[in-house]
Structure 1
Amino acid sequence: MVSRILTATLLSMATSVSAGGLKDIEHVVLFMQENRAFDHYFGTMSGVRGFSDPNVQCNPSTGLNTFQQKVNDGLSTQATSLLPFYINYLGRANWTAASQCASDNTAMSWTHFKRQDLPLHFALAEGWTLADMYQDGVIASTSPNRVTWMSGSINCPGGPQTPDQGGIVTDNSEGPGCESPGLNCEPLYWKTVPEFHEDAGVLWMVYQDEDNFGDDLLIDSFYQYQNPPADSPLTMYGASHPGLDKFYSDAAVGTLPQVSWIVGPAELSEHATYGPQDGAWLQKKILEAVVNGAAYNETLLMISYDETGGWSDHVTPFHSPSGTAGEWIEDPYGAVNHTYTGPGFRVPFTIISPWTRGGHVFTEHADHTSQILFMEEWLETLGYEGVRTTEIPAWRRAHMSNLVSAFDFDNPDYSIPLLPVIPTPSTNSSENYNAASVCELLYGHYGPPIPYGPENEALDPSTLSEEGFKSVRGYLTEGRYLVFEMNGYTLTNPSPNATDFVATKARLNHEDKKQRWVVHATGGTATDGGSGAGSFNVSSAVDGRWVKSDTSLGKGVSGAETYRIEDFGNGKGYTLVKENGKYLTIDGNGMVDIVGTAPAAGSKIWSVTYIPEVREHYGSRLMLCDRS
């Protein structure tokens, strides 16, 4: 261990003079919590793809959008659909306390929290960068997702592994043996990410206490970590239990390894019925260790969740085409037949560092393999060889973001936002955390009664959202109202009778509905972390008219021009490229122009949420299934 600490210190000294890129990072900390969905936590947040999604997806056979979950007579005879509802809608103190230990049983899955319930989660997301298209790796439970997090694969047929390396991992049955032939066969025998790091000379450590909720899948699933020699690096750094106090002390003095994985205790994991408030306390402890530590200026912390745990999200998962090798299976349980394994539903993902400070929304398609892809790019930039794992399926490697575009390395911000006070979790006489058991004893774990009926069915989901905006980072995906700004002006639809769009002075809070646009993917949406661009038609949030040739506006998607919206990366902005290869620009006098060469500086894009304007434009959200 002494030699590893000395190596870390020397690396810190050697790289501290570099600036403006991935080389500025010396430590990456990966912390994964349990079982929460994006909408469940952040659906109300402004500037993200939440309850005000202008591209809400629809079921053509029913005419219902994905906010309207069908209700059968077995659930209620008072309604045919259920829309998202606030978990503390009854408003009394007891219900607020009870929601901490509510479980995601049946229709309770469709609940959501608000800012007042998750002050630390919101503070981290708005202090740094929140990803709103980050998906879990597998539409399944904890173990498959944490196996993906640590290795990049679940051994789906057609992927890099062979059947004799362990059957496809679809659930939490950690063996030994097989659930059935070729299914959940453990132990697993393929190479994990820490092994690639070890072979390349990268310093790494899994920080965990003895109580790790069984979430270190290196120990629980992979053969090579289960009985290695005591002096093996796999034992010392992966299958040991150094404790979270060890992480706090290492962060304080700047001796963290280059890569740290953190596995927390069960009671602080946020897995229902363990409460978000107790998980927030642990998140703050880890965050404060990082930002107050000796090496924060060179440290990146990523906070993710392994899977949704059954809590709801309204976005249909972005996934591979049918039959893609290493991605699709015949459902061994016979429920959905031929199906993709992942990526799954959206889960919260926050990126904390000096280069992601400022309340941005990162919009690229990402999943748990994205954390691996990021480390590959980073470590190769530092000169390491052999860190690119061979275990990630080809489609996943080609189509998941490597997260690099979330960062602005030219303009780091080392300040720390003011963070809320989070109560220390309660303990029993043996000093074991007991908040969940106390909560269940007092309130049960079923939450409030489900609000079936006309009032819920008439709900406009956009009214659940807060108002405000975030700056966009990464290539664009659908799901937000956008403002395009260049040289202090923004693209504007001046009136419902206007034949052309123009540019008008940018507004400080981006609240003018005439300056808001919606992008619609044409099938050329960027799916490669390195491509930085996607292809879209664009419509106005004023009247739904489409951008057509040059600067004209017209009804109907027919004839709408396709724009390639390209991200310069590193916080440098975007270009809007027309079908003819020319660029849409706004000059310093506010004149819209079409030019043949790319502008020297890109436009800023803001993701905005202003609820009354949504209703004024579109009326009821329940009528949005056809906007052609």
Structure 2
Amino acid sequence: MPRLKPLKSACLASSALALLTAALPAHAAPAGYDKIDNIVVIYAENRSFDNLYGGFPGANGLANASADEVTQLDRDGKPLSELPPSWGGLTAKGVTPAVTEAQSAHLANAVFAIDDAKGFNQGLNVITRDLWHRFYQEQMQINGGKNDKFVAWADSGGLVMGHYDGSSLPMWKVAQKYVLADNFFQGAFGGSFINHFALVCACTPFYPDADKSPVKDMIASVEPDGVTLKVADNSPVSALAGGPKFVKDGAISPDFYAVNTMQPPYQPSNNKPAEGGDPAFADPKAATTLPPQHDITIGDLLSLKGISWAWYAGAWQTALDGKNATPVPNFQFHHQPFNYFAAYAPGTPARAEHLKDGGLEGAAFIKDIDDGKLPAVTFYKPQGNLNEHGGYADVSSGDQHLADVIAHLEKSPQWAHMLVVVTYDENGGFWDHVAPPKADRWGPGNRIPAIIVSPFAKMGTVDHSQYDTTSILRFVTTRYDLPVLQGLVARDNALRANSLPVMGDLTAALDLTH
């Protein structure tokens, strides 16, 4: 996902944007695409496909995993004799009754059901501890496509191999009714931060002159292969002895790309304003504050074409008002990607028009659904306690919220010409048996669930087409005849170079002929 030449002003003037996009190729929409008038993207958190949908009938799930794909290797490349404990315990802090580290030990080197009544019996309503889901570690876990070092390069021990029986989830029923995509991958290696950028611009954020900035001590120490973190001398040799340690596991790559979580330069941000500074900004001298970004986003392209769009963030206004709290609503600052871009800085018309409050528990978003007032392209991010992220959210609460939103969309005045994509930003550190296709430096990463919901869906089917997060951008681009973001071109060129098919645009899940 390469970078375009950045704009120098804080506001993307349409004339300047037009010049920047003039060299980008455009797509003419094929027949049938115009049947879709509203595209709704719902972005949940941190679940691999096998973690929730590994038992879905007709899908490439756990029953299809070979012994080689399941068996996890230790750091020396030899099979582990057993899974290590879940370091620090299986459940999140404060969960009662807790599953301790000792109780999680001595599992066979295999997958296991977290909710097995004869095992840990931790249901979908129980919050587990968080797992590493970071840029370099994920590539080390994938191990060149073998997916056999998830345990070796995790901080959570054997928990990475855990999964659930998702058949009781409301969204499982939605997937049965519409289309479940079982070959859909997260757009980038790593966590939520970089994958939100993959969703809105197919680009990777950049920190200019990072080595001369407050972030200089957060530049990762990486081996010459560009993929592997340098292991510290005091790192445990075996995963059975503890989580790995690295020389420097930073947020910034050696060539200054921001690959792990950084904070937005504008409020709401986890970094407070500078003393005496603009209260709408985050302190630029804080090491974790990312400078404003200038890449072209899908929002910019839609605006240039006069297409309406918005990002609805659950609890956005609550966070702006300084009333965010844990565990509710637990707004996550790095889950609003447009808040990193200069074009949407505080005070800009674009911010006021496109960065909308989803309300507490999505109430404001749902009202616009019910009133038939959704823009042509809509993104919705649930608030923290409803996003399914391990460590601070359970699965069932978020899943029920997703199903409730779908129920409102199905009754919306705009439903007859709508496409809804429900997916997850990344795998959250959980193992999956399907190796991602080898493409460019940034991804794609691990396989994640995706459900395509529409009156035009090929009802009751499993779509095996190759997709990733950027497939959403591909459909938006083609539907509205937009210039093609450079990251999409680079991804497909990399796939072709590896003799692999290019990413689909979701239309294999649709019947646009009727």
User: CA distance change for structure 1 residues 27 and 215 in 2, over 3 Å: closer, same or farther?
Assistant: farther
Per-residue CA distance 1:40-99 (angstroms, 9 max, x = gap): 011111211111227x4xxxxxxx611112336892799796111111223489633764
Residue 422 of structure 2 is aligned to residue 303 of structure 1: yes
Residue in 1 aligned with 2:488?
392
2:165, 2:285 → 1: CA distance? 42
1:342 offset after TM fit, Å? 0.8
Alignment of 1:120-519 (within 5 A): 120-154=170-204, 167-174=256-263, 186-208=291-313, 209-210=315-316, 211=319, 212-229=331-348, 232-238=349-355, 240-241=356-357, 243=359, 244-273=362-391, 274-320=393-439, 327-328=440-441, 341-380=442-481, 386-396=482-492, 399-411=502-514
1:186 offset after TM fit, Å? 3.1
Residue in 1 aligned with 2:84?
75
2:161, 2:508 → 1: CA distance? 32
Greater per-residue strand proportion: 1
1:20, 1:390 → 2: CA distance? 25
Match of 2:160 among 109, 116, 121: 109
User: CA distance change for structure 1 residues 235 and 291 in 2, over 3 Å: closer, same or farther?
Assistant: same
What is the identity, as a one-letter code, of the residue corresponding to 2:341? F
TM-score, length-scaled by structure 2: 0.62
SS in 1 for 2:123: helix
Structure 1: 5+ residue runs without aligned partners?
A: 1-18, 57-63, 158-162, 321-326, 329-340, 381-385, 412-628
> Does the 8 Å contact 1:171/1:184 carry over to 2?
no
User: CA distance change for structure 1 residues 69 and 114 in 2, over 3 Å: closer, same or farther?
Assistant: same
1:145 offset after TM fit, Å? 0.3
1:214, 1:27 → 2: CA distance? 27
TM-score, length-scaled by structure 1: 0.51
Per-residue CA distance 1:355-402 (angstroms, 9 max, x = gap): 11522111122111110001111112xxxxx44334535234772211
Larger Rg: 1
User: CA distance change for structure 1 residues 92 and 167 in 2, over 3 Å: closer, same or farther?
Assistant: closer
Match of 1:84 among 111, 114, 117: 111
What is the identity, as a one-letter code, of the residue corresponding to 2:157? T
* Structure with bigger RCO (C-alpha 8 Å, 6+ apart): 2
2:405, 2:52 → 1: CA distance? 20
SS in 2 for 1:96: coil
1:215 offset after TM fit, Å? 4.4
Query: Which structure 1 residue ranges, 4+ long, deviate > 6 Å from structure 2?
Result: 76-80, 177-180
What is the identity, as a one-letter code, of the residue corresponding to 1:48? A
1:194 offset after TM fit, Å? 0.5
Residue in 2 aligned with 1:469?
none
1:149 offset after TM fit, Å? 0.5
SS in 1 for 2:180: strand
Q: Tell me how large the CA RMSD over aligned residues is.
A: 3.2
Give the number of equivalent residue pairs. 349
> Does the 8 Å contact 1:167/1:186 carry over to 2?
no
> Does the 8 Å contact 1:132/1:363 carry over to 2?
yes
SS in 2 for 1:280: helix
1:406, 1:310 → 2: CA distance? 27
SS in 1 for 2:300: helix
Structure 2: 5+ residue runs without aligned partners?
A: 1-29, 74-79, 86-101, 132-155, 208-251, 266-283, 320-330, 496-501
SS in 1 for 2:462: strand
What is the identity, as a one-letter code, of the residue corresponding to 2:357? H
User: CA distance change for structure 1 residues 296 and 393 in 2, over 3 Å: closer, same or farther?
Assistant: same
> Does the 8 Å contact 1:36/1:307 carry over to 2?
yes
